[in-house]
Amino acid sequence: MSEHHYIACDLGADSGRVILGTLKDGKVILEEVHRFPTGVSKVQGSFRWNVLRIFEELKAGLRKVAAKGISAESMSVDSWGVDYVYFNQRQPMLSLPYQYRDSRTDGPYAFALKEIGRDKIFSETGIQFMQINTFYQLISDVEQNGDIQGIADKFLCIADYLHYLFSGVVKQEISMASTTQVYNPRTRQWSQALIEAAGIPERLFPELVDSGTRLGCLTPALAEETGLPAIPVIATCSHDTGAAVAAVPAKGKGWAFLSSGTWSLIGVELSAPLINDTVLEDNFTNEAGYGGTTRFLKNIVGLWLLQESRREWIRQGQTISWDDLDSMAEESEPFRSLINPNDPRFLKPDLMPQKIADYCRETGQAVPETPGEVTRCIFESLALSYRQMLQKIEALTGEPITRVHMVGGGTKSPVLNQYAANGTGRTILTGPVEATACGNILIQALALGHIPSLDALRQTVADSFPIIEYKPQNGADWDRAYDHFCKLTSSI
């Protein structure tokens, strides 16, 4: 059977990887050839992405692939959503792009909800309200960075901006566009009504393309610099969650997905957007998926809570591995304290253990004091949040959910995986860890005609990686904890 090779440039909020994917005998093999930090830079009080450094790291990874002497047939970039870069014909970058946790959207978010209105914004986009969304960043630019917008030709979200640097083609892929809250999933175009209402220059919005579109080829200059041939640059699902969900190894009905990482994204795959008053009230989102599907989901603050806590402990001089935290959590008292992961205080960085302690103190609970107690608090709270969201999804869609496919870096924690099963009362199926890279690579294979369909893609994933099953345990204890959790989160 023929053998095919593809390059996935997979960017997360903490790290980026260049991964070589090989499709052979109906299975996909992943090889990480380069890893680097992507972390945010704090510049004069604002949070920014050093995208040009990321670009240099990706080129370094491409050179490592070329050095292997393997004939890669295409490449693609995926990244987190909502953030973007301005550029024009003469200048490839007009300012360092902001990171979504920057506080500049606080005022524009309140302004948009009041002056444009939740009903209008949601009816146009079907997207969950979060102040990190591109729409409020663009409104902030209208107010504070009009000079930059005035000389910009276009903006592109991070992955598609890197596609532009690699290929010279200016296009925005729709799974990424749908994260902006300026994309209309019914018309599959930018929302003219919101663009006009917010006063954002219409010329800034790039042409949209479907997932799996060949954009162009690696430019001659970059081919020479990296040692690769002028391979096709493909916009797979530029949004990392879109790529991850495409690679969920699921069949039939009755399943949900849970992408577990910095964010927890939990939802189901629908054939069309679900936009109505009840969905608006519950603040769910309709993001575009591969092949015209809709990812109907809730975005929950996820392992960011633990990542930030661990950063603080390390800053204080404690050396704690992820495995240590798993062990400490298991040894800690169950249900001692719970938090609402989506409380606004947890969105911003710094002093996370203190924020968690403050929340517990304010809600009359025992305060978690040790890393193990904090970790257990986070894991149990996330697991109960998953249950809450699954119940709401069942009510909104009218379809029962019996199993949850959990993918992403969070599945490396067997403790969290088991708590997710316990908390939801449903079977949890974990794997693959590298779902985003799998989706990126195998959508390239689809685009090049090496795989016939999305179903075949998912079967390839199922045949390539171990899927581990977790069954619910200690149901009565978790039911009591859930009642307490619902009281804490009654405001969401």
Q: Per the structure block, which two tokens stand in for 257? A: 């997905």
b/e per residue 332-356 (b: at least 16 CB within 10 A): beebbbbbbbbbeebeebeebbebb
- Domains of the chain, start order: 3-240 (3.30.420.40), 248-431+452-492 (3.30.420.40)
The answer to whether the Cα torsion of 429, 430, 432, 435 is positive or negative is positive
Q: Per the structure block, which two tokens stand in for 113? A: 């909800």
- Report how far residue 350's alpha carbon sits from residue 339's, in angstroms, rounded to the nearest whole number: 17
**CA proximity to 84, closest of 188, 25, 162, 1:** 162
Fill in the DSSP letter of residue 293.
Answer: -
Predicted structure pTM score: 0.94
Gap between the terminal Cα atoms of the chain: 52
- Report how far residue 61's alpha carbon sits from residue 67's, in angstroms, rounded to the nearest whole number: 10
- Report how far residue 295's alpha carbon sits from residue 128's, in angstroms, rounded to the nearest whole number: 12
Tens digit of each residue's pLDDT, the chain (492 residues): 589 999 999 999 889 999 999 999 999 999 999 999 998 999 999 999 999 999 999 999 999 999 999 999 999 999 999 999 999 999 999 999 999 999 999 999 999 999 999 999 999 999 999 999 999 999 999 999 999 999 999 999 999 999 999 999 999 999 999 999 999 999 999 999 999 999 999 999 999 999 999 999 999 999 999 999 999 999 999 999 999 999 999 999 999 999 999 999 999 999 999 999 999 999 999 999 999 999 999 999 999 999 999 999 999 999 999 999 999 999 999 999 999 999 999 998 889 999 999 999 999 999 999 999 999 999 999 999 999 999 999 999 999 999 999 999 999 999 999 999 999 999 999 999 999 999 999 999 999 999 999 999 999 999 999 999 999 999 999 999 999 999 998 854
Using CA atoms, how far residue 329 sits from 26, 84, 386, 470, in Å, is 39, 37, 19, 18
326 is catalytic: no
Which of 10, 78, 83, 240 is catalytic? The answer is: 240
